[in-house]
């Protein structure tokens, strides 16, 4: 399999992962057309109505930039964080304030592509998991091509964490890097 084909597959699997989490919560996930690069957004997740009794925004939306890798994150010794290399353009897009909050989602797959998906009569298994990271208000960089950011290994993107992020948005709260 060519590298381009492999990257396309990883991208589609990361979309499928988020679609599944959104569906589990009753949210919709929609791919963003790439007419003008969309400011680095690949997918938008939207809820319908009021999510919480304290919500001040109805039908909140979260925009996601998706990245996928089959390189296992290597946490720094004694740290909850792992390094991830991101293009400077993507970093700068995610630092800005938009109407809808934006986060980075890094989907980590097994190194061996034969282990990415298992399917049987009882289950469909998509391995491994995704992590989210908020770069809003991150400092500017003088790098010109890429920057290494630290992603918290506690920030698993799960049905529960996606719902928590959406509730925070509905309450007009800042999305920190930990729930």
pLDDT given for residue 39 in this prediction? 65
Domains of the chain and CATH, by start:
3-170 (3.40.1350.10)
Mean per-residue pLDDT for 148-169? 96
* ∠ Cα 23 18 96 (to 5°): 120
Q: What percent of the chain has pLDDT over 90?
A: 81
pLDDT given for residue 179 in this prediction? 60
Q: Spell out the SS3 assignment of 148-168.
A: EEEEECCCECCHHHHHHHHHH
More confident position, 65 or 75 = 65
Residue 72 pLDDT grade (very low, low, confident, very high; cuts 50, 70, 90): confident
More confident position, 126 or 74 = 126
| Residue range 111-122, pLDDT digits in tens | 999 999 999 999
pLDDT higher than 60, residue 57 = yes
pLDDT given for residue 33 in this prediction? 78
In this structure, is the dihedral angle defined by the CA atoms of residues 57, 152, 104 and 98, taken in order, positive or negative?
positive
pLDDT given for residue 147 in this prediction? 97
pTM: 0.92
pLDDT higher than 80, residue 38 = no
pLDDT given for residue 121 in this prediction? 96
| Residue range 92-114, pLDDT digits in tens | 999 999 999 999 999 999 999 99
């Amino acid at each position: 399999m060519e590298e381009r084909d492999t990257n396309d597959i990883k991208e589609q699997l990361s979309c499928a992962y988020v679609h599944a989490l959104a569906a589990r919560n009753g949210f919709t996930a929609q791919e963003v057309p790439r007419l003008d690069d969309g400011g680095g957004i690949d997918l938008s997740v939207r809820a319908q109505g009021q999510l919480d009794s304290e919500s001040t925004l109805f039908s909140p939306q979260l925009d996601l930039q998706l990245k996928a890798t089959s390189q296992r994150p290597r946490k720094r010794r004694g740290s909850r964080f792992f390094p991830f290399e991101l293009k400077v353009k993507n970093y700068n897009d995610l630092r800005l304030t938009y109407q809808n909050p934006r986060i980075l989602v890094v989907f980590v797959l097994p190194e061996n592509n034969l282990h990415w998906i298992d399917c049987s009569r009882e289950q469909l298994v998509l391995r491994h998991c995704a992590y989210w990271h908020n770069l809003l208000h991150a400092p500017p960089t003088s790098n010109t091509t890429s920057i290494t950011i630290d992603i918290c290994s506690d920030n698993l993107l799960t049905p529960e964490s996606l719902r928590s992020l959406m509730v925070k948005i509905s309450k007009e709260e800042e999305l920190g890097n930990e729930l």
